[in-house]
Structure 1
């Protein structure tokens, strides 16, 4: 019986660790996506600014 309790506890710890590391990696990819989106919007604004300048 003691072995079963230990095994269940170990399983719980491992699954929790996997859950935490999975969340961290998904957060990482989201921040990476945000950085890419920010860069794209910055470029688009720059192009718009150049296009709106009066030709002289």
Structure 2
């Protein structure tokens, strides 16, 4: 399978830096998701009050 080879290559290339970088990227994606959900809810509440 291709995925384990890719993970092995990434670990060999970046070493221990890969774990915090991955957590940072996942956190940024999660923050963006929460921001978009909050913005959509805010727009929905604004539309309902008109």
- The TM-score, its normalising length taken from structure 1, stands at 0.61
Q: Deviations over 1:6-56 (max 9, x none)?
A: 221111111000000000001000000000000011xxxxxxxxxxxxxxx
- RMSD over aligned Cα atoms: 1.5
Q: How many residues align?
A: 38
Instruction: Indicate which of 7, 20, 38 corresponds to 1:11.
Output: 20
Question: Normalization by structure 2: what TM-score?
Answer: 0.68
- Which 4+ residue blocks in structure 1 deviate beyond 4 angstroms? none
List gaps (5 residues or longer) in structure 2.
Answer: 1-10
Partner of residue 32, structure 1? 41
Choose between structure 1 and 2 for higher RCO, CA contacts under 8 A separated by at least 6 residues.
2
